[in-house]
């Protein structure tokens, strides 16, 4: 009898420890509490006009490839690794990611597939004249999810009597790369201090009996107001912007979330923020579903 009791206690203890071990850190990956900030993924892409095939453009134009490589080199010199666009393009081709014939869609698809947070677009223009040849480079950096502009610069190679367009493209990049990165770094500092932007889209399942005017919770407030009050409390430094609210949808097109969990100091991400929002909606007695794509959170209420 006693033996059985001991065995049961031992089993219970084992089960208990088993439960704890679900979230305990693996000895092989234990860093002793060190936290390294997750860096944004940056991808450098060429500019394409509407209808242009991005693959053909890159494969056919060595000067564009030189400009892109030179830009990536500038990131490398600052100790930052970028996502390689050509490699992603190849991987996408191999995995048959491209389903549409629309070429502009291919660029969007590669950006989405790469998981890049920021993309840098490079436009190379060659001007040939009697007084020489020059290259103008237009560099723009955007946040992929929100479209927020991070840095914009125009580089000039100067006029030379040469046919070496690649060399001129390099000169054009060199003339602005440092300044371009410095402006980006200023924006990064702003993000470190004030949080990064995420988009939150809350909508309803087709079969849902609720809408944004439904009176929910113990205080019986409309759902849209409940959501805004939650956002007011939980957006980092109370910084959020509502794009619009209708009966079927509510879109927060810019909600700031911190890079680090303010309590634990661990890295914080849109998924963790989405979970908190999901818990809140669940707490109101609703059945939410959540989906996170990059920096966009989709909540669907059933």
**Which parts of this chain interact with another protein (CB under 8 A)?**
37-40, 75, 77-80, 174-179, 181-186, 188-189, 191-192, 259
Give least dist CB 144 to another protein, A: 15
Nearer to another protein, 7 or 192 (CB): 192
Nearer to another protein, 75 or 278 (CB): 75
Give least dist CB 158 to another protein, A: 13
Does residue 116 contact residue 96 with C-beta atoms inside 8 Å? Answer: no
Does residue 274 contact residue 290 with C-beta atoms inside 8 Å? Answer: yes
How far apart (Å, rounded) are the C-alpha atoms in residues 298 and 198?
11
Give least dist CB 6 to another protein, A: 53
Nearer to another protein, 45 or 181 (CB): 181
Give least dist CB 117 to another protein, A: 10
How far apart (Å, rounded) are the C-alpha atoms in residues 127 and 132?
8
Give least dist CB 190 to another protein, A: 11
Question: What residues contact residue 91 under an 8 Å CB cut-off, 6+ apart?
Answer: 113
Specify the long-range contacts of residues 228-235, CB closer than 8 Å, at least 24 apart.
230/277, 230/280, 231/200, 231/255, 234/273, 234/276, 234/277
Which helix (H) or strand (E) segment holds residue 37: the answer is: none
How far apart (Å, rounded) are the C-alpha atoms in residues 109 and 126?
28
Nearer to another protein, 69 or 208 (CB): 69
Strand duo 149-156 + 132-143: pairing: antiparallel
Nearer to another protein, 55 or 70 (CB): 70
């Amino acid at each position: 009898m006693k033996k059985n009791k001991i065995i049961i206690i031992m089993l219970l203890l084992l089960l208990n420890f088993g439960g704890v071990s679900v979230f305990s850190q693996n000895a092989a990956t234990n860093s002793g509490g060190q936290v390294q900030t997750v860096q944004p993924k940056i991808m450098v892409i060429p500019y394409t006009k509407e209808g242009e095939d991005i693959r053909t453009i890159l494969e056919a134009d060595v000067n564009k490839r030189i400009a892109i490589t030179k830009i990536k080199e500038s990131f490398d010199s600052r100790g930052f690794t970028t996502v390689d666009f050509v490699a992603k393009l190849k991987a996408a081709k191999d995995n048959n990611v491209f389903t549409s014939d629309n070429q502009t869609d291919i660029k969007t698809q590669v950006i989405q597939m790469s998981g890049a947070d920021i993309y840098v677009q490079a436009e190379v223009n060659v001007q040939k004249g009697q007084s020489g040849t020059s290259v103008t480079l237009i560099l723009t950096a955007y946040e992929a999810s929100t479209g927020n502009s991070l840095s914009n610069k125009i580089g000039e190679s100067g006029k030379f009597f040469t046919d070496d367009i690649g060399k001129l493209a390099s000169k054009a990049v060199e003339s602005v790369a440092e300044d371009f990165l410095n402006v980006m770094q200023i924006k990064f500092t702003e993000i470190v201090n004030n949080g990064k932007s995420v988009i939150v889209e809350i909508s309803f399942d087709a079969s849902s009996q609720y809408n944004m005017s439904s009176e929910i919770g113990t205080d019986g407030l409309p759902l849209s107001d409940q959501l805004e009050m939650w956002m007011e409390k939980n957006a980092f430094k109370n910084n959020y912007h509502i794009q619009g609210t209708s009966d079927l949808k509510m879109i927060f097109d810019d909600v700031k979330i911190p890079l680090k969990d303010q309590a634990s100091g661990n890295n914080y991400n849109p998924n963790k923020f989405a979970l908190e929002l999901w818990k809140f909606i669940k707490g109101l007695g609703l059945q939410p579903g959540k989906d996170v794509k990059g920096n966009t959170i989709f909540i669907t209420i059933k």
